[in-house]
Structure 1
Amino acid sequence: MYIGGVRQKRVALMVFLAPAVISLVVFFLFPILMSAVLSLLEYDPLRPAADITFVGLANYKEYFQYQDLKDQYLHVLYYLVMYIPLILLTSMIQAVLLNRVFAAKTLYKVLFYLPVISSWVAVALIWRWLLHGESGLINIALGAIGIKGPSWMHNKIWAMPGVVMAAVWKDTGYYALILLAALKSIDATYYEAARIDGASRLQQFSRITVPLVSPTIFLLLVVNVIAGFQVFESIYIMTEGGPAGATRVPVEQIYRNAFTYYKMGYASAIAWVLGFVILIATVIQFRLEKKWVNYEN
């Protein structure tokens, strides 16, 4: 379609951009602004508007004095320390396998991606059954080799590893596809030259594959750290923050305070603190990027 004239082009540009701009303002910028305002208020949506009280930084002060604040972020770090190495390892293995030619490859692609498109409710139910202390398949398998499995979801030590296993199983397929795209972009001549020089497959992987996909690995690392700090669905469905608060994390507390106790101002303050922590973690990662990420010229 031809659009003539500067005025008509400007009008067309505004018309085409309007849906995206309106969505950005209504669903992103406005909620951020409102959460910042709410964090300074004592606001209960079930009470009259006349009861809204400006409390300044009192919500933040209350949260910093919360006795479980440190534990919440330690639980997140515990989750990240287990989840990130496992998700990067399993995703890379999947990607390497998919980068090869073998029988029934299409069927394999479908099967390994099924967990990604499954809802967390379904995944949680499956894994709660698998991790059941008495009749779970994992404990049955451990018992077959003489190991007594723990009561995963009811044990303060093993509840978070159980959540991590479920999350890795669900997410691996998605990140494997991202890594597969990075593997496909590597020039095959690098491997041919390495084979001529007598490099083994392990040397080719460590000296060629890993350095050339390191930008993608860095992307996955940043994305997963951000997502890890915001972990919620898996924990809420599988453990509800238990047992005895062993899997309680910041977003779960935001949900409870906002939609169980209706302390919207306090919940908004928690969200802003969490956002600031995520920002610091992301900045640190970008600061360290140049030390190990290789960008091909």
Structure 2
Amino acid sequence: MSAAQAFLNPRRWWRSKTPMYRRNYKWGLVFATPAFIGLAWFFAYPAIASIVYSFSNRTMTGAKTQWVGGTNYSGLFKDSEWWSSLGNTFYIMVLAVPIGIVVAVILALLLNLKVRGQSFYRTIFFLPSILPVVASGVVWLYVFNPQYGVLNNVLSWFGINGPGWLQDPNWAKPALVIFSVWGLGNLMVIMLAGLQEVPQDLQEQAMVDGANWWHRFWHVTVPFISPHLMFALITGVIAGFQYFTPVYVLTNGSGDPAGATMVSGVYLYQNAFQNFKVGYASAMAWVLFIIIAVCTALLFKLFGKRVYYGGE
């Protein structure tokens, strides 16, 4: 019996099964019940509740909750700080995602070379991605310090007067981009796995035909790692709109200097847990969800047909 038939006629489907299958099925549901309850309580309930709250004036102050319809959503269009936070989010994402993918591919190409100590180098480059973001942020606060930070000290060796980084509105967002690129070990491993799936016979054949390293990379390597590149692009965009923890740690969630680091995630947090405007923050969350869904669909539309899956 097909899945569609089982869905349309569950009793008939159930009776068609052997006693042992039905017993194992029941015990499987029993053991999976805690996971179902946790999934419903920690994911389904908050999602449904946030939809309801987004149409109300829900707060954390104990005030009576009232239905306000689409007031929260219409208020976002008039909120200049909300638009500014979206602009900061796009700025960081547009820089961090492509740069992160390019750096990850370059590192993967280098770590794919057959050199002595290959495992050691792979471990070193992967380590930053497994460090806690909070701990890494605290360390990078000293790195970005304009007076005695490591980064400005290195720049001074070349006669360059380093900027104020997180204390300068013009350099605060580039500093966040640098911090994001530093912890791309997971993406590097994904690209490295993709490179190891590139057929070596095609590389050798292209070399025999006179193709240089760039032509081999662009016409042989890139098509075979295109699924990994697509994955990195989609997940990078989704994570970019949810960018919060590094900004909160590095700037204490203030959005300083001069609002340069006020990304949408931090602005949502401020409204929900500092201003206690739960309804307004819920509306922000669902608008962000819609933006992420639209951007993801556009990326699939633009690049989905250019992804090469072996054998297809």
Q: Give the shorter-chain TM-score range.
A: over 0.9
Task: Extract unaligned runs of 5+ from structure 1.
Answer: none
Aligned residue among 253, 256, 270 for 1:256: 270
Distance in 1, matches of 2:303 and 2:100, equals 19
Cα shift at 1:16 = 4.7
Give deviations 1:215-251, integer Å, cap 9, x for gaps.
Answer: 1101100000010011001111112321111111111
Q: Are 1:75 and 1:246, in contact at CA under 8 Å, matched by a contact in 2?
A: yes
State whether structure 2 residue 197 is matched by structure 1 residue 182: no
Give runs of aligned pairs for residues 160-199 of structure 1, distance below 5 A: 160-170=173-183, 172-199=184-211
Q: How far off its partner does 1:201 sit?
A: 2.0
- Aligned partner of 1:8 in structure 2 is 23
Shift of 1:280: 0.8
- Correspondent of 1:135 among 148, 152, 158: 148
User: Residue in 1 aligned with 2:3?
Assistant: none
> For 1:1-297, what aligned pairs fall within 5 Å after superposition?
4-47=19-62, 51-170=64-183, 172-239=184-251, 240=253, 241-290=255-304, 292-297=306-311
Q: Sequence identity, in percent?
A: 35
Aligned length: 292
Deviation at 1:4, TM superposition (A): 5.0
Contiguous gaps of at least 5 residues in structure 2: 1-17
- Work out the CA distance in 2 between the residues paired with 1:108 and 1:40: 52
Q: Distance in 1 between matches of 2:54 and 2:88?
A: 24
TM-score, length of structure 2 as denominator length: 0.88
1:185 is aligned with what amino acid? E
Supply the AA of the counterpart residue of 2:121.
Y
User: Which consecutive segments of 4 or more residues in structure 1 shift more than 4 A?
Assistant: none
Cα separation, 1, equivalents of 2:62 and 2:46 = 21
Check whether the contact 2:58–2:278 (CA below 8 A) recurs between aligned residues.
Answer: yes
Aligned to 1:54, the other structure's residue is in SS state: coil
Q: Distance in 2 between matches of 1:20 and 1:186?
A: 39
Offset at residue 194 of structure 1 (A): 1.3
